[in-house]
Amino acid sequence: MTTNGTPGREKYFDDHSNSEIAREIILNALYEVVIKDQYGTFNNYYLDRVENDWGNSRAVAVRKLIVKYIWRIFNKYHTSKFDMSGHQIVSEVFHQQERTGDMPKDYYGPLGYRKSDYKD
């Protein structure tokens, strides 16, 4: 209840600091950069331009680098207080590249990438 007796509503970022809100917004923006839409086009104007001007292989290579930078940001700011492990970037981007060995070495832990761990 609010102070005037009306029912209160939960706000989207209730109980989050400004820093946590900023991290979430940045992570969402970075996620949007590396995904493709339903038609197979990059959502990001610049990555789409790379694909159109230089071809798919270069766009994929640039995307892999972007994902590595995103991982560094995610890894640094993911905390127990602000758990981001459920973010769609983990399941739709990190796990996709994990299977091919395209994530940074620290992503895989001390044993590193082992292709045998990802057999279907």
CA gap 77, 93 in Å, rounded:
17
pLDDT in tens, 41-87: 888 889 989 999 999 999 989 988 888 888 888 777 776 666 777 77
Q: What is the mean predicted confidence (pLDDT) over 85-97?
A: 77
- Crossing angle for the helix pair 56-77 and 45-54, to the nearest 10 degrees: 150
Q: What is the mean predicted confidence (pLDDT) over 7-24?
A: 79
Considering only residues 81 and 38, tell me which one the structure prediction assigns the higher pLDDT.
38
pLDDT of residue 5: 63
Considering only residues 39 and 111, tell me which one the structure prediction assigns the higher pLDDT.
39
CA gap 14, 107 in Å, rounded:
30
Burial code (b: 16+ CB inside 10 Å, e: under 16) for 79-118 equals eeeeeeeebebbeebbeebbeeebbeeebeeeeebeeeee
Task: Provide the residue ranges of all domains of the chain, joining segments of one domain with +.
Answer: 18-118
Considering only residues 6 and 23, tell me which one the structure prediction assigns the higher pLDDT.
23
